[in-house]
C-alpha cells in the first residue's frame, strides 16, 4: 500500500493537484456526489498514483483509472477521449461518459453516486469499475485511501483545481 501524498514534496503536491482537479471536475462540472468523487480519487490513486499518463499492466492499461483496451476503446469511440493520453479534465469527462451510458450498463453509477460514505464510494468504484485481480485486498486498501482523501478534502469545502 502506498503512502498518502505528502504535500510538502514536489511529487506529493503534483499528486494532490491531480486529486483537486478530479474533485473539481466530478463535483462542479458533473455533479457527482462527494462520496462518489472521493471514491473515484481513491481508485485513481490506487491505480496510477494520480499520474494521468502512466501505463500499466505491461502496457495493456493506461491513464488515471488504468482502463484496459476494451473500456479504452469504448470511451474513445463513444466520446472521443483517449483515456491513456488525455488530460486529467478529459479523463474525468471520459470516465463520467462511461459511467452514465445506458449501453454500458451504467457501470455502477447509481451506486457510486449514492454511496453512503467515501469509503463505500471507493469500494463500489473498485468492485464495479476497476475489478482488480485481488479485489478483497484492494477494497480494504482503497477504503483506507478514501478515509485519507476525505480528511484532506473535507465535505462541503469548495475546491477548485490548480491550473
Domain membership of residue 160 (yes or no) is: no
Distance of CA 51 to the CA centre of its chain: 11
Whether 123 has a pLDDT exceeding 60, the answer reads: yes
Using DSSP's 3-state secondary structure scheme, residue 67 falls into strand
The tally of domains found in the chain comes to: 1
Domain membership of residue 37 (yes or no) is: yes
Fill in the DSSP letter of residue 126.
I
Whether 149 has a pLDDT exceeding 80, the answer reads: yes
Whether 138 has a pLDDT exceeding 60, the answer reads: yes
Cβ–Cβ < 8 Å for 47, 130: yes
Domain membership of residue 161 (yes or no) is: no
> In whole angstroms, what is the distance from residue 9 CA to residue 70 CA?
36
Fill in the DSSP letter of residue 127.
I
Backbone Cα Rg of the chain: 14
pLDDT tens figures, 47-78: 999 999 988 887 889 999 999 998 999 999 99
Cβ–Cβ < 8 Å for 75, 97: yes
Nearest 5°: phi and psi at 78?
-75, -40
Domain that holds residue 86: 10-152
Whether 163 has a pLDDT exceeding 80, the answer reads: no
Tell me, what CATH number does 114's domain have? 1.10.530
Amino acid at each position: 500500500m502506498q503512502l498518502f501524498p505528502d504535500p510538502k514534496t514536489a511529487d506529493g503536491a503534483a499528486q494532490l493537484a491531480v486529486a483537486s482537479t478530479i474533485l473539481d471536475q466530478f463535483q462542479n462540472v458533473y455533479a457527482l456526489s462527494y462520496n462518489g468523487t472521493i471514491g473515484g480519487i481513491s481508485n485513481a490513486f490506487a491505480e496510477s498514483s494520480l499520474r494521468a499518463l502512466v501505463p500499466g499492466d505491461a502496457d495493456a492499461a493506461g491513464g488515471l483509472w488504468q482502463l484496459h483496451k476494451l473500456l479504452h476503446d469504448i470511451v474513445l469511440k463513444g466520446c472521443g477521449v483517449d483515456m491513456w493520453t488525455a488530460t486529467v479534465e478529459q479523463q474525468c469527462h471520459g470516465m463520467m461518459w462511461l459511467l452514465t451510458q445506458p449501453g454500458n450498463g451504467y457501470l455502477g453509477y447509481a451506486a457510486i453516486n449514492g454511496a453512503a460514505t467515501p469509503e463505500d464510494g471507493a469500494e463500489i468504484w473498485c468492485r464495479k469499475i476497476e475489478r482488480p485481480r485481488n479485489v478483497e485486498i484492494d477494497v480494504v486498501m482503497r477504503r483506507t485511501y478514501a478515509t485519507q482523501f476525505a480528511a484532506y478534502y473535507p465535505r462541503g469545502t469548495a475546491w477548485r483545481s490548480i491550473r
